Amino acid sequence: MGTAVASVADVCDAAKRASRVLARLDSAVKDTALEAIATALEERLGEILVANERDMQLGAEDEIGAALLDRLRLDEQRVAQVARAVRQIAALPDPVGEVIEGRRLRNGLDVRKVRVPLGVVAVVYEARPNVTIDAAALCLKSGNAIVLRGSSSAEHSNAALARIASEAAVAAGLPGGSVSLVAGGGRAELAELATQRESVDLIIPRGGEGLKEALQAVATVPVIYAASGNCHVYVDASAHEAQAEAIVLNAKLQRPGVCNAVETLLVHAELAPSFVPRIVRSLTDAGVVVRGDERVLELARDERERERPGGAGSPLESEASLTDSALVQAATDEDWASEYLSLTLAVGVVDSVEHAIEHVGRYGSGHSEAIVTRDTGAARAFQLGVDAACVYVNASTRFTDGGEFGMGAEIGNSTQKLHARGPIGLRELCTFKYLVEGDGHVRA
């Protein structure tokens, strides 16, 4: 396996050589290698957990925060889930060789548009060691070699996982260099990887805006950005309140430190008087810090007045104390644009589905957006008006995931519009070529 001991250029060159072999392998060989990787993960669990514990200790010492520690953590259950995802990928149809379309031209030539591997895919990612295996399995199944570049916070976990995957794959018949890891060189190493145009066909960064900006500044290799997720849930006037509450709580609480968690809740003005106090209470009871616009703050103050002993006729406290006691803070423009990745949620009131669409268009990142409604017209307007990779009606944004979409796993979620959008799975790791067959044809 390539490591930081070899130069980045040498690692990428070895991956290029491996990719030429991988592109021609039968599905059975690739699937056998994936099964070997899944088995090795289970058999070498102790090795993985020891490495991960070292990263967790260093992360805690460096105070990287609860959300990043949650992303970083591996345990027996999570490793089992990773191994299960590898087997699910192995069970999927092989995209390589799939005929996208075919036809016979008027001149008698037979033309087929056939899916083929990209070649060498470099994946750059932060604090998510499971990506090491998810990305490797997806690339190998789609006939690509992979060069992995994880973050320093997961250095030991990534090294153990990549070593296990590489050794298992080679033992099962894949060429050396199919799975490689580069690590330890900081931004200089990232820049070197991002300029290996002769050997790397695509880079996929999976991380925050800082990583995206660092690559944009130097990359000469094509890049698909698995970008951040400033996701919204809009609760329409016709929404069923219990259903809306369940969706919002799931989208925020099920795993707040991931890119498909909701960061902003919008509520139609007609439903707001009843729904905002209800959802604010549920959110704050779950430990969520709510940051509201003026109308949300007013509704929170009104609710607080009703709950005070003596009701609305009692002497008023200051507005600040009422707001604080309701655990609602005043939202700023920065809040609407924030990907918190934590137990914080911005909440606003809008006057129509059109205003909700406008808000999402201004602040959203193009990742995942949801509407809760019983009005088919509003649902259709939201689906057509919102420009995002995934648009949900009456469902949580947390479903934007390659595993949930039946892809086995994902390398990331693309918010771009060219080639790949949404979860990046097997087919998104392929390009195509035209196979043209004739019988002595020459062009007049």
- Residue type at 120 in one-letter notation: V
Beta bridge partners of 203: 122, 223
User: What is the Cα–Cα distance from 171 to 400, expressed in whole angstroms?
Assistant: 34
CA angle 369, 375, 377 (to 5 degrees): 80
Contacts of 79 (CB under 8 A, 6+ apart): 41, 42, 45, 48, 49
Q: Is residue 144 one of the residues assigned to a domain?
A: yes
| CATH number assigned to the domain comprising residue 110 | 3.40.605.10
| Amino acid, single-letter form, for residue 176 | G
Residue 147 in domain:
yes
Report if residue 444 sits inside a domain: no
What is the model's pLDDT at position 31? 98
- Residue 370: which CATH number? 3.40.309.10
* pLDDT score recorded for residue 1: 46
Q: What are the φ and ψ backbone dihedral angles of 37, each rounded to 5 degrees?
A: -65, -45
Is position 3 within any domain? no
Strand partners, 206: 125, 226
Please enumerate in sequence order all residues whose Cβ is within 8 A of that of 320, keeping only pairs 6 or more positions apart, or say none.
none
Could you give the number of structural domains in the chain?
A: 2
pLDDT at 6: 81
HSE of 299, CA atoms in CB hemisphere, 13 A: 24
Residue for token pair 């995206």: 212
Same domain for 166 and 239, yes or no, is no
Query: What's the pTM?
Result: 0.85
- If asked whether residues 19 and 153 sit together in one domain, one would say yes
Residue 152 exposed, middle or buried by CB count within 10 Å (0-12, 13-18, 19+): middle
Buried/exposed 115-150: b ≥16 CB within 10 Å, e otherwise: bbbbbbbbbbbbbbbbbbbbbbbbbbbbbbbbbbbb
191 and 317 inside one domain: no
Q: Specify the DSSP element, H or E, that contains 282.
A: helix 272-285
Q: How far is CA 254 from CA 339, 343, 396, in A?
A: 16, 11, 10
Q: Which domain holds residue 328?
A: 231-399
Q: How many Å is the Cα radius of gyration of the chain?
A: 25
Q: Are residues 201 and 261 part of one domain? A: no
| Residues forming beta bridges with residue 292, ordered by sequence position | 330, 347
Residue 190 within a domain: yes
The answer to whether residues 217 and 246 belong to one domain is no
- Give yes or no: residues 79 and 97 share one domain: yes
Is there a single domain that holds both residue 195 and residue 131? yes
Q: What string of pLDDT tens digits covers the 444 residues of the chain? A: 444 458 999 999 999 999 999 999 999 999 999 999 999 999 999 999 999 999 999 999 999 888 789 889 999 999 999 999 999 999 999 999 999 999 999 999 999 999 999 999 999 998 889 999 999 999 999 999 999 999 899 999 999 999 999 999 999 999 999 999 997 667 888 999 999 999 999 999 987 778 888 888 999 999 998 767 999 999 999 999 999 999 999 999 999 988 999 999 999 999 999 999 999 999 999 999 999 999 999 998 877 666 665 555 444 444 444 344 456 999 999 999 999 989 999 999 999 999 999 999 999 999 999 999 999 999 999 999 999 999 999 999 999 999 899 888 888 899 888 889 999 999 999 999 999 999 999 998
pLDDT at 121: 98
Whether 132 is covered by a domain: the verdict is: yes
**166 to 29, 94, 181: CA distances (angstroms):** 15, 20, 9
Phi, psi of 92 (to 5 degrees): -75, 155
For residue 73, give Cα distances in angstroms to 251, 408, 439.
Answer: 21, 21, 59
DSSP assigned state of 226:
B
Q: Within this chain, do residues 256 and 271 fall inside the same structural domain, yes or no?
A: yes
**What pLDDT sits at residue 314?**
46
Residues 205 and 308 in one domain: no
How many Å apart are CA 117 and CA 19, to the nearest integer? 9
CB atoms within 10 A of CB 163: 19
Give phi and psi for 390, each to the nearest 5.
-135, 125
Q: State how far the alpha carbon of 184 is from the alpha carbons of 154, 187, 189, 218, 423, in Å.
A: 11, 9, 8, 18, 28
**Pairing of the two strands 179-181 and 145-149:** parallel
108 and 205 assigned to the same domain? yes
Same domain, 313 and 164: no
**What span, in angstroms and rounded, lies between the C-alpha atoms of 8 and 225?**
21
Q: Which residues contact 181 (CB under 8 A, 6 or more apart)?
A: 1, 2, 3, 4, 132, 147, 148, 149, 150, 158, 159, 162, 163, 166
At 146, which helix (H) or strand (E)? strand 145-149
Q: Are 222 and 335 members of one domain?
A: no
Residue 268 belongs to some domain of the structure: yes
Q: Is residue 2 part of a domain?
A: no
